[in-house]
Amino acid sequence: MARSSMFPSIKATMALTRIGAGALTYANPPLSAKLFGIRDGEQSSAYTARLFGSRDIALGLAVLSPNPAVRKTAFRLGVLVDSADCAAGVLDAKQGKLTPFGSALLVGGAAAFAVLGVLALSQED
């Protein structure tokens, strides 16, 4: 069955979302903290936020690589990173450091990306 061209591929969705979130976080850590529902985000370290931003930009760009080995490695690393992010989000949510929206967005988003990464790996074979 042919996939509709109306829907972006997993690869494109993951790459663009990672690059967008990473660029926003790198450029404006307080704004991204507010948008992602992180309580007291304005007080958080901009340096730490930018570490996340640069990491996501790099993973997003690697997913767009024309080299299948690079893409596969990026998806594998993404699954590990997203799983760790999911666990970190659960810990912060339990400590009240995330708004209910932030909990759903960050924990749910990280879990969804881990699953999408596994699906993307199955398509890379």
Q: How far is CA 92 from the centre of its chain?
A: 17
Q: What is the mean pLDDT of the chain?
A: 90
Tokens of 93: 């949510």
> pLDDT tens-digit profile of 90-111?
999 999 999 999 999 999 999 9
Domain boundaries, the chain: 10-124
Centre a 10 Å sphere on the Cβ of residue 122 and count the other Cβ atoms it contains.
Answer: 10
Query: In the prediction, which pLDDT does 83 show?
Result: 98
